[in-house]
A = this chain, B = another copy of it.
């Protein structure tokens, strides 16, 4: 190497040093995600306070989001007080701590007596040996010809409260089944049928064991090619390019794109959190949404067998620390999950030993041209056509919760709309059954009879000997709309048949819109209905557009569902939000998680149905919408071994927010 080159290298190194330090995420805004430095500060404060025993697990480490008034009053340069909510688990005891990482101070520390810490992967896996030592388990496995247990894994999942005797004294309980991964690559179709146990996690003892009888393990059909096949003959490339780069700018989590401005952060528990969304109306940024995020996911399985109907997941509250490398959202594939021209963003999350880590490609941002017109018209009188092409901005993450993958989209439209998309893909949960074919009688593991003698089915064969069990997916979105400011009211515009006067010629009936303002949270519970249609809007009683109309945004459902389980069923008490598509409550910084901060062991004490019993005022005050997007899943063979993405959406739509279509002046190229 020449001297010249060597000097040049040293010079480069010197230049590189400051930008290298700049890679360390800093806190620029009260709503920024926790930085590695802050995770370590929280760790060290707890360490110094003597709260970390050798086996203590960090079940949750989350930013304690400042209350809205503090955030709205904050200006760049102002100090930022940063607090971290930590949940620790030691010897099956749960502890809640608040650490002020700005002051390096332990603000509070409490042992939880009613509530329980979420289960982390380390805890979940820690019972494998204990279970496999239980003579009942050994005998049941032996009866199935399994004696070498090296490929057998006996897991524990959080036991959602269902009123079992084991659950009545607040004990930490789990339950589960064993899998044998022999002959497969993934465990999803390797569950050993018939075995079920309830476990006292403190005592590390199985309190109840059942064996409903062996079912032969079907051949694995879950193995799939990870590399991709050949294109079908005749398939030619489609290439999308942004030769000059993207049209958005992102700085410290603040996104600017066309008329939109918003912040994002990646939260370990609920995934993407979108904040301070504003739409620029003629040079003036106008508030639309203070915060939008997932609040909870509820996935109850529907099968008569306790081993299966005990699968009642509150995936938001239960599984975010589940993977050892915590955080519900998982890496994205360039060119598969997002276009290859997308911009990718990393996230800083925690392992359940309390250490932080940074993972790249957890979120992507991209502009999309679908080839659909924003508007168009052919005018009969002039035979002239006009219209505009459009583009949209997509912010995307993917949550993986065990078998399922959920694509979370926030799509910003040029017309002022925001569409929230949820794509469900991944792997079905399946059980081994005796049935090799659906042709003929099916076993009791698959079909039953109603008291009236009608045949019902609990799942569908998706391969010989494999049934995919019926289940639901409910996603509760917490939408803190602040339309032109925090104080909003819920307008429910019902469409009602309207009788014309008897003197009317021709038509006797029309329908008319009956706008009603919801008064209290007790009445603000609504379902989608084709027979009784209504529009739901967040309106600002203090702000009118130039036409004298209260400015508002409508929440427009897409295809959706609600839970059809009776309200007295325990899972419904815990996930009661799923009984309605829309609920509205007054803003309360303590009400972020629709089924409670602590879902494990919860009986629904801290949940939306419980909160709304207060029947608080929701008129002309800061209100929050809880929107349930749900669907029932009766699986198909076509969903196996991977499920084609099933999309559901809803849209936040400006309604009398503007005084005309804001896309009239778009250019003729997207």
Contact = CB atoms under 8 A, between A and B. Distances in A.
Interface in A223-245: 224-232, 234-245
B548 A437 contact: yes
Q: Dominant SS at the A interface?
A: loop
Interface stretch (A12-20, A599-607, A659-667): A659-667
Interface stretch (A40-48, A92-100, A361-369, A610-618): A361-369
Interface string A543-576: 0110111000000111111101110111100000
Nearest to A637: B659
B668 A640 contact: no
Nearest to A510: B302
Contacts of A255: none
B470 A373 contact: no
Nearest to A331: B385
Nearest to A384: B226
A162 B507 contact: yes
Nearest to A249: B234
Contacts of A230: 665, 667
Given A638-B657, A667-B229, A304 B504 contact: yes
A448 interface: yes
Contact of A372 (B323, B407, B451, B669): B407
Contact of A461 (B229, B378, B549, B565): B549
A326 to B, nearest CB: 12
A339 interface: yes
Contacts of A287: none
A457 interface: yes
Contacts of A656: 460, 636-638
Given A224-B664, A470-B513, A405 B384 contact: no
Contact of A380 (B394, B400, B496, B660): B400
Nearest to A447: B512
Interface string A344-371: 0000000000000000000000111111
Contact of A455 (B221, B405, B515): B515
Interface in A379-398: 379-389, 391, 394, 398
A618 B568 CA distance: 39
Contacts of A533: 561, 564, 632
A660 B643 contact: no
Contact of A511 (B229, B240, B564): B564
A296 interface: no
Given A234-B247, A668-B228, A668-B335, A510 B303 contact: yes
Given A498-B448, A533-B561, A377 B389 contact: no
B636 A386 contact: no
Contacts of A505: 164, 208, 306
B530 A562 contact: yes
Contacts of A639: 661
Interface in A291-340: 302-304, 306, 309-310, 312, 322-323, 325, 330-331, 333, 335-339
A440 interface: yes
Interface stretch (A138-146, A211-219, A422-430): A422-430
A466 B273 CA distance: 40
A221 B208 CA distance: 74
A454 B514 contact: yes
A375 B226 CA distance: 12
Given A244-B237, A302-B512, A310-B507, A530 B495 contact: no
B450 A644 contact: no
Contact of A506 (B306, B339, B391): B306
A497 interface: yes
Contact of A389 (B335, B380, B532, B548): B335
Contacts of A426: 375-377
A64 interface: no
A186 interface: yes
Nearest to A647: B372
A461 B547 contact: yes
A508 interface: yes
A530 to B, nearest CB: 5
Given A376-B645, A438-B547, A457-B515, 20 more contacts: A232-B259, A302-B511, A306-B506, A336-B387, A339-B369, A370-B370, A377-B425, A377-B427, A377-B642, A439-B549, A450-B514, A462-B660, A464-B547, A470-B512, A527-B531, A528-B530, A549-B637, A637-B660, A640-B661, A644-B663
- The 6 A-B residue pairs whose C-beta atoms are closest, nearest first, are A439-B548, A229-B665, A228-B668, A437-B548, A456-B512, A162-B506
23 contacts: A186-B381, A186-B382, A229-B664, A238-B240, A238-B242, A238-B670, A239-B242, A240-B371, A331-B385, A336-B387, A374-B644, A377-B400, A440-B548, A470-B512, A495-B632, A497-B566, A508-B569, A528-B530, A530-B581, A531-B562, A638-B661, A641-B660, A642-B664
